[in-house]
Structure 1
Amino acid sequence: MTNEEVTLYLWKQASFYGLLADYYKCANPELHHYYGRKHVEALCRLAEQVARYGDPFDQQSPNANGPLVSPASGNGNPSFPNNVLGAQGGGKRPDEPSNSAGYSGYGGYDGYGYGTNGGYSAYGSANGYTPYGANPYNEPYYGGYEQQSPYIRTEQPSPNPAPPPNPNNMPPSTYASVRLLHASPDAPAVDVYANGTLIASNIKYKDSTPYLMIPAGSYSIEIKPAGSQTAVLTKTVSFKEGTAYTAAAAGKLANLTLNAYVDDVTPVQGQAKIRFIHLAPGAPNVDIKVKNGPTLYSDVAFGEAGAYLTVPPGSVDLQVFPTGSNKAVLTVPGVKLEPSTVYTIAAVGLAGGTPPLEALPLQDS
């Protein structure tokens, strides 16, 4: 990706998490704070990207004050990423009145623990580029961060600058990234807990979450009907550092299972990558073929995932056959595969039942 594309990607990411944080403000305080942290993290990466490579919307804007030093790490809650930045800052934009508390559009924003003197106080600050300042998050729920300002503007390039953002879903080395998928055809919407902490709420059938960054390790995963405190499934799952996963709840409610599949989120330049997962309970082993073309996967049983395949990009018609049969039970026309993109295609639903058998495409990167 070009520097401009990375900047625009980070802008979209920050907006996305900001909208989620706002949505959950009343409905789910835990998710409100969680996505608030991710919103701040994305904003900080965006600020660093713009400081290094310029503003793509204003080609005349100078980048005269040098790059930014990577933020200091902290001691956040182990259930959530701990590299989100602190809160309070001083200083004003040049066009802010002297009695303002920073960027007036966001001044304070104490729902995320910025404090009433917070805001985007980077612009024109006399005490350095401290967009989110030195104050740690003030909720005990989040733990603390370094008391030093996480970003300091320097006149010379940092000897160890932070790496450019990774637009794929590859987690940092000490984290795993986990996407949750609801593939149980008769289960209600569910809430998912990890070690007793709510990590996703009200996931409906065929819904999936974005990749969630969590510290690597073992977790007791509980799946509960949305709003209920009674788990319908509890399972211990281990997630390795630097690895991406799809954790799929599948099978009928009475025999619910949770399987964690390792995702290969590294794209092949100019090619597409696909993988098939059989998540349709009651369906026999299946073969996946290109219509009037080759067989991609053979004899895939319920709960199994085929290996990733590198294929040419374009539009393709796929068909699902019971293994050994020449009669397709499902045809999926016009599956669009973009270059340099990774996909998972899951078979969900009930063969000959309701909800019907169908293909659910997911984009891994």
Structure 2
Amino acid sequence: MTKIFTSLTFKNSFLNKFCLAIAFSAVFLGSCKKETPVETAFTAVSVFNASPTFSTYDVYLNESKANAAALPFGGGLNYTKIAPGSYNIKFTTSGRPESLLTKSITLLQNTYFSYFLINRSSGLDGLLLTDDLSATSTTNAFVRFINLSPDAPALDLVINGGATVTTNKLFKEASTYTSLTAGTFTFDVKDKATGNVIASLPGSVLAAGFHYTIIARGLIAPANSNEHPITAQLYKQQ
């Protein structure tokens, strides 16, 4: 009886310890298992001042000031990641709180946007564009063209001495992105009807894998010395 009792006790004790060891191992291994990170939904918006005046502006998203320094003509803010949703975007004269333009915009999840302040000071307006930055390449860059000159005719963007990038863009119209071999280019903005070059961008460097925007900005016929004549501008979207 003693041996049987001792044997059963040993077996029960061993089994209990073995089960505890398995349970402990399961808990330990579970605690060491690498957790999959949860991606937080975002949207991203950049802001650009293409209004052809010498005024400088502050920009607010839902009453929170977005810029550290005032935005001059041709000035902008790189992409800022924020929670997706609806926002009021407001522009004021630099250093003042009164709204010159306030618009409601909806920024979708996991999407990049550009917002442009456009038009003369007497009729300020905004233009929101969706930016498709999904294309990738180790050899090519990606370029789009936007006509942001209020009094310009339909415009073409061409490579000097080379191919046409996009054609027939009216005020507020944007092209899709065109893939170009990375390198240095001279871009010409031409009047669609006459073929005359109205603005040029010599020495434009495009790096592989990046997205760029070229805009026509300013005015064909400035009303006074407080308005900018038409020029073109290239910037990297980042």
Larger RCO: Structure 1 or Structure 2 (Cα < 8 Å, ≥ 6 residues apart)? 2
Aligned to 1:326: 195
Q: Does structure 2 conserve the Cα–Cα contact (< 8 Å) formed by 1:187 and 1:252? A: no
Aligned to 2:50: 183
**Residues 340, 196 of structure 1: alpha-carbon distance in 2 compared, 3 angstrom cutoff:** same
Q: Does structure 1 conserve the Cα–Cα contact (< 8 Å) formed by 2:44 and 2:82? A: yes
* Alignment of structure 1 residues 53-132 onto 2, 5 Å: none
**Residues 339, 157 of structure 1: alpha-carbon distance in 2 compared, 3 angstrom cutoff:** farther
Identity %: 25
Task: Tell me the alpha carbon deviations over residues 187-219 of structure 1, each in whole angstroms, 9 at most, x when there is no partner.
Answer: 521111122222225122111112111111111
1 CA distance for matches of 2:139 and 2:163?
21
- Please tell me the root mean square deviation across aligned C-alpha atoms, in Å: 2.0
Q: Helix, strand or coil for the counterpart of 1:254?
A: helix
Of 79, 83, 108, the match for 1:215: 83
Aligned to 2:41: 174
Q: Does structure 2 conserve the Cα–Cα contact (< 8 Å) formed by 1:268 and 1:310? A: no
Task: Tell me the alpha carbon deviations over residues 67-102 of structure 1, each in whole angstroms, 9 at most, x when there is no partner.
Answer: xxxxxxxxxxxxxxxxxxxxxxxxxxxxxxxxxxxx
Q: Does structure 2 conserve the Cα–Cα contact (< 8 Å) formed by 1:187 and 1:253? A: no
Does residue 199 of structure 2 align to residue 317 of structure 1?
Answer: no
1 CA distance for matches of 2:54 and 2:88?
20
What TM-score results when the alignment is normalised by the length of structure 2?
0.78
C-alpha displacement at 1:161, in angstroms? 5.5
Does residue 118 of structure 2 align to residue 250 of structure 1?
Answer: yes
Of 185, 195, 198, the match for 2:65: 198
| 4+ residue runs over 4 A deviation | none
Aligned to 2:147: 278
Does residue 206 of structure 2 align to residue 337 of structure 1?
Answer: yes
Aligned to 1:358: 231
Aligned to 1:159: 34
Of 161, 168, 186, the match for 1:292: 161
Match of 2:56, as an amino acid?
A
**What are the ranges of 5 or more consecutive residues in structure 1 without an aligned counterpart?**
1-155, 164-171
**Residues 217, 326 of structure 1: alpha-carbon distance in 2 compared, 3 angstrom cutoff:** same
Q: Does structure 1 conserve the Cα–Cα contact (< 8 Å) formed by 2:58 and 2:67? A: yes
What TM-score results when the alignment is normalised by the length of structure 1?
0.52
Q: How many pairs does the alignment contain?
A: 202
Q: Does structure 1 conserve the Cα–Cα contact (< 8 Å) formed by 2:151 and 2:221? A: no
Aligned to 1:108: none
Match of 2:104, as an amino acid?
T
**Residues 340, 226 of structure 1: alpha-carbon distance in 2 compared, 3 angstrom cutoff:** same
Aligned to 1:92: none
2 CA distance for matches of 1:213 and 1:207?
19
**Residues 305, 157 of structure 1: alpha-carbon distance in 2 compared, 3 angstrom cutoff:** farther
C-alpha displacement at 1:264, in angstroms? 2.3
2 CA distance for matches of 1:301 and 1:285?
4
Task: Tell me the alpha carbon deviations over residues 278-301 of structure 1, each in whole angstroms, 9 at most, x when there is no partner.
Answer: 111211110111112222111101
Match of 1:185, as an amino acid?
P
Aligned to 2:93: 225
C-alpha displacement at 1:349, in angstroms? 1.4
Match of 1:222, as an amino acid?
K
Match of 2:47, as an amino acid?
L
**Residues 361, 157 of structure 1: alpha-carbon distance in 2 compared, 3 angstrom cutoff:** farther
2 CA distance for matches of 1:214 and 1:283?
34
Match of 2:233, as an amino acid?
L
Q: Does structure 2 conserve the Cα–Cα contact (< 8 Å) formed by 1:284 and 1:302? A: yes
Stretch moving more, 284-293 or 258-267:
258-267
Q: Helix, strand or coil for the counterpart of 2:122?
A: helix
Bigger strand share: 2
